[in-house]
Structure formats: C-alpha cells, structure tokens
Amino acid sequence: MANKNFQLIVAGGGITGSALLYTLSRYTNLQSIALLEKHDGLGQANTSGLRNSQTLHFGDIETNYNLEKAKKVKIGASMVAKYLDRLPSNNGIFLHSNSMILAIGENEIKTLKERFEQFKEAYPDLKRIEADEIAKIEPQIMQGRDPQIPVLALYSTTGYTVNYQKLAESFVQNTDKNKTEIFFNTKIKSIKKSGDNYIVTTDQDTFTAPVVVVALGTHSLLFAKHLGYGLEYAVLPVIGDYYTSDHRLLNGKVYTMQNEKLPFAAVHGDPNIFDTAETRFGPTALSLPILERGSLKTLPDFFRSAGFDWNAFMTIVKIHSDPDILKFIIENFIFTLPFIGRSAFVKNIAKIIPTIKKSDLQSKKGLGGIRPQLVNKKERRLLLGAAEILGDKIIFNVTPSPGATACLQNALGMTKKIEEFFGGQIQFDETSFKRDFID
Ligand SMILES: Cc1cc2nc3c(=O)[nH]c(=O)nc-3n(C[C@H](O)[C@H](O)[C@H](O)COP(=O)(O)OP(=O)(O)OC[C@H]3O[C@@H](n4cnc5c(N)ncnc54)[C@H](O)[C@@H]3O)c2cc1C
C-alpha cells in the first residue's frame, strides 16, 4: 500500500464532490487534488438518475419553499443551468422541460393565487393558467376530472430535467487534469488527524492532505463523528421510491401543493430522462435504518453514525406528534406495502391524473434513493436543508434534496472556506467563478 500526498482530498464522487473538484481545479491555484470514490464510477449513489427526481429546482413550483428560500434555490439552479447551456453537446445530460404546480379545490387555489402574487416578480416566466389551458398542455390532468372541483396551475416552460450522474461525469471531464487525480474502487475506511495532516486510510492506498472535504452523502456524518464533530446530530435516512408508467402520461413535470410542515416535496409526476416515453411518480417517504438504497450491509454504519440516544428518540417523537406529519408517515408506509401499496399510491396520484389505473404503474427494482435528513438532538428539530459541519480544515457535507441542484452553489461556499483554511497560501478566483455562473 502506497502513501500518496495531496494538497486537498475530496472524499466522494457524487455530484457534490464532482462539482467541488471542478471548481477547485478551474478557479483556484491548488496544484494537487485527489477525489476518492468507492464505486467504479461517479454518481452511483443518490446522484444517480435512478435515485432522484432529476429536477433542477428553481423554487417556482416547489410550494414548500417560501420566497426567500426559493430565491436562494433559484440562484443555485441558475448556476447549473448556465453550465448546462454552455456545454458543446448535451449527451443525455439534460432536457429542457415544462413544469407545472397544480392546485385542486378552493383552499389550494387560494393559496396558489396568493403565492403567484408574491412570486411573479422573482419568476417572470411563471404563467397562471386555468383549466382549459391546463387541458391543452397536459390533457391527462383534465380527463375525467370532476368539473365541480376547480383547478388552477402555475406553469413555466423554462425547467430542466437533469441526469445528475452524467453532470458529475461532465464536471470531472472538465477539471484541469494536471491538478486532479481520481481514485475509483477506493473505499475510505477512516479519516484521522496527525499533526497538520489528515490521514485517509482506504482499502487501497493511504492518502494524506492538510485539507479534506467529506462529501460522502449519507455516510458523511459517520466520519464527522469519528473525528468528534457533529455529535449533536443524528441521521434519519428517509427512503424515497418511485412508481413508473411504461407509457407517457405527462408531457412535463407536474408538482402538487405542498403541506409546508412536511420536509419533503409533495408527490409529483416527471418525465424520465432515460426514457421520455415513461412518466415517474413519487417519491414516497419511508424511514429505514440503512445508509444506501438496497444495501443491508450499511445497517451497522447506520447504527454507528445515527447517534440515536434519548434526545434523538424524543426529537423523533416530537416530530411525529404533529398530526399532519403522522398522517404523511402512515400514508407513505402504506404505499410501500406489497399488494395494497400500489392501489393506495394510485389513489394519491389520481390528484394529478384522475383516470389513472393500478395497471398504469409499476414499481421497478432499484428505483429510489435515500435522503439523509439530519436531526438536531439539542434543539430537538429536523433540519430541512443541506447541512455542513465545519471542523479544523475539514468540511463534512450532507445534502438531502435539493442537494444536486445546489452543487455549484455549495462548491462556491466550500471553496471560500478552503481558501481560508489555507490562510493565504492559495487563491480562489471568485470573480471569474461569479462571472461564469452568477453575473
Ligand atoms: C428520492 C430523492 C429525490 C431527490 N430529488 C432531487 C431532485 O429532483 N433534484 C435535486 O436537486 N436533488 C434531489 N435529491 C437530492 C440529491 O439526489 C442529493 O442531494 C445529491 O445527489 C447528493 O449528492 P452527494 O454527492 O452529496 O451524495 P451522493 O450522491 O450520495 O454521493 C456520495 C458519494 O460518496 C461515495 N462514498 C460513500 N461512502 C464512501 C466511502 N466510504 N469511501 C469512498 N466513497 C464513498 C458514494 O459511493 C457516492 O458516490 C433527491 C434525493 C432523493 C433521495
């Protein structure tokens, strides 16, 4: 086993690690950066197109975001859109897609109308459309719908469907190769501090660097805890699965109105970038003690990183004591049950497509991911967005949705911190980065 030295190590080749590697190699004068990934390629965990909804979240159709949060999300999404639009060839990385938020019944319509008034300045492309126009754009939404129940939608033609795994590959292809080295099939076993360096032990070689970024998704908290950081957190892995149709039911993304107490997007229908003749519905939400989809091997790692104790337990009890959240959890549990799950899910999807039948949907093996929701045990609350734990010249990143959308925004924030870690020894050309992605 060799010992390899670098100025910086990025642990994890998902969208977070890949976007950071791209940013560091192109916009700083760091000369040697390693990226370590346990799989034989990039983006095979939550970043894979099989594991997430493939949405570039602009905040316009996600009614769980208030205007302030939506504007922040929009900045992150616009950065990715700028990158995508500049690519010389698309290669299946993204599709331009229409997106719609659908309100059903008087109460939802009232909320959506108020939201439109609040949001229309920040989202000038967003159009308010009534039933007849909805029927032209998405005929299945109106077919067989009870005419007594009114509907209203906000609609945009400027959305994107993204294969984030391919985007991660594109970031890495476009790094400055003289400065970066990628190590696949390299599983990190431990990260320890020794003097001014971190020693990253893997099942291949040992790597050392003064600065490390841990972008291991659901696994990041485990490594933070080994180094004594993030002890106030427990991780609550929430599985999100999809049901899929083998024929096109929708022409674009259709989201439903969100209960603002819930941390996850309400059920939606999306085109599938791998096969646009298909429509996917979901994701569901079910908490299970594993860190990777379909991998029972990660059960011990869950217990090692979960940090479950009395405070964590009480936090979970407190979260579940809200009747809306409890109802949501029970409903979602039912969706995952054999035999009755699909029927129950179909009833839920009938909000979007009233004529949908059980035979229209299948559950495909390997479809769905895990959202690593952090629970702050001290404050007894669920953290809704991304979490970043800062240590001594080390950053731990944990990004549930919309983490893939925020990849360049997070890379910007982390690069600024990395520049500080090096105390003037390296420079970040933030002006060029902002010129390329923000201005
Ligand atoms: C159901 C669902 C729907 C979602 N929908 C959207 C959406 O529509 N839009 C959006 O923007 N976001 C969405 N997200 C969130 C998004 O998928 C994640 O935020 C994002 O993929 C996280 O990327 P990451 O690189 O941080 O983590 P990951 O993609 O999980 O990458 C972590 C990497 O670390 C590697 N790794 C782990 N342990 C080790 C180890 N010991 N040694 C070496 N390597 C290791 C893994 O193999 C992996 O490649 C969704 C998530 C879920 C679960």
pLDDT in tens, 241-288: 899 998 999 999 999 998 777 767 788 999 999 998 999 999 988 888
In this structure, the residues whose C-beta lies within 6 A of any atom of ligand 1 are 12-17, 36-39, 44-47, 51-55, 57, 164, 187-188, 215-217, 219, 240, 283, 368-371, 397, 399-405
pLDDT tens figures, 365-394: 788 898 888 888 888 887 877 789 999 999
In the chain, ranges of CATH 3.30.9 domains? 233-377
Q: Which superfamily is assigned to 1-54+163-231+383-439 in CATH? A: FAD/NAD(P)-binding domain (3.50.50.60)
Question: What mean pLDDT comes out for the span 291-319?
Answer: 79
Half-sphere exposure of 217 (CA within 13 A, CB side): 31
CA 46 to ligand 1 centroid distance, Å? 3
Q: Which atom of ligand 1 is nearest to the CA of 400?
A: 19
Q: What count of residues does the chain have?
A: 439
Q: What is the pLDDT of residue 425?
A: 94
The dotted CATH code for 233-377 is 3.30.9
Distance between CA atoms of residues 69 and 60, nearest Å? 11
Q: What is the pLDDT of residue 74?
A: 97
* List of residues 6+ apart from 330 with CB closer than 8 A: none
Question: What mean pLDDT comes out for the span 120-143?
Answer: 97
pLDDT tens figures, 56-110: 999 999 998 899 999 999 999 999 999 999 999 888 999 999 999 999 999 999 9
Q: What are the two backbone dihedrals, phi and then psi, of residue 435, each rounded to the nearest 5 degrees?
A: -60, -40
* List of residues 6+ apart from 310 with CB closer than 8 A: none
Q: What are the two backbone dihedrals, phi and then psi, of residue 344, each rounded to the nearest 5 degrees?
A: -65, -40
Q: Is the pLDDT of residue 224 over 80?
A: yes
Question: What mean pLDDT comes out for the span 354-369?
Answer: 89
By mean pLDDT, which of 132-136, 147-151, 261-265 is the weakest? Answer: 261-265
Return the residue whose CA atom lies nearest to atom 21 of ligand 1: 47
Q: What is the pLDDT of residue 24?
A: 98
Please provide the distance, in angstroms rounded to a whole number, between the alpha carbons at the two ends of the chain.
46
Q: What is the mean pLDDT of the chain?
A: 92
Q: What angle do CA 261, 265, 266 make, to 5 degrees?
A: 85
CA 47 to ligand 1 centroid distance, Å? 4
Question: What mean pLDDT comes out for the span 315-326?
Answer: 81
Q: What is the pLDDT of residue 402?
A: 86
Distance between CA atoms of residues 130 and 407, nearest Å? 35
Question: What mean pLDDT comes out for the span 166-173?
Answer: 98
**Can you say how many angstroms the Cα of residue 111 is from the centroid of all Cα atoms in its chain?**
26
Q: Is the pLDDT of residue 302 over 90?
A: no
Question: What mean pLDDT comes out for the span 348-355?
Answer: 95
Q: What is the pLDDT of residue 307?
A: 66
Q: Judging by beta carbons within 10 Å of its beta carbon (0-12, 13-18, 19+), is residue 355 exposed, middle or buried?
A: exposed
Question: What mean pLDDT comes out for the span 147-156?
Answer: 97
Closest to 45 in 3D by CA, of 180, 164, 205:
164
14 pLDDT band (50/70/90 cuts)? very high
Contact 168, 42 (CB under 8 A): yes
By mean pLDDT, which of 156-170, 231-245, 340-354 is the weakest? Answer: 231-245
In the chain, ranges of CATH 3.50.50.60 domains? 1-54+163-231+383-439
Share of the chain above pLDDT 70, in %: 99
At 186, list the tokens. Answer: 């390299």
CA 15 to ligand 1 centroid distance, Å? 7
CA 114 to ligand 1 centroid distance, Å? 34
pLDDT tens figures, 398-430: 987 789 999 999 999 999 999 999 998 999 999
CA 290 to ligand 1 centroid distance, Å? 14
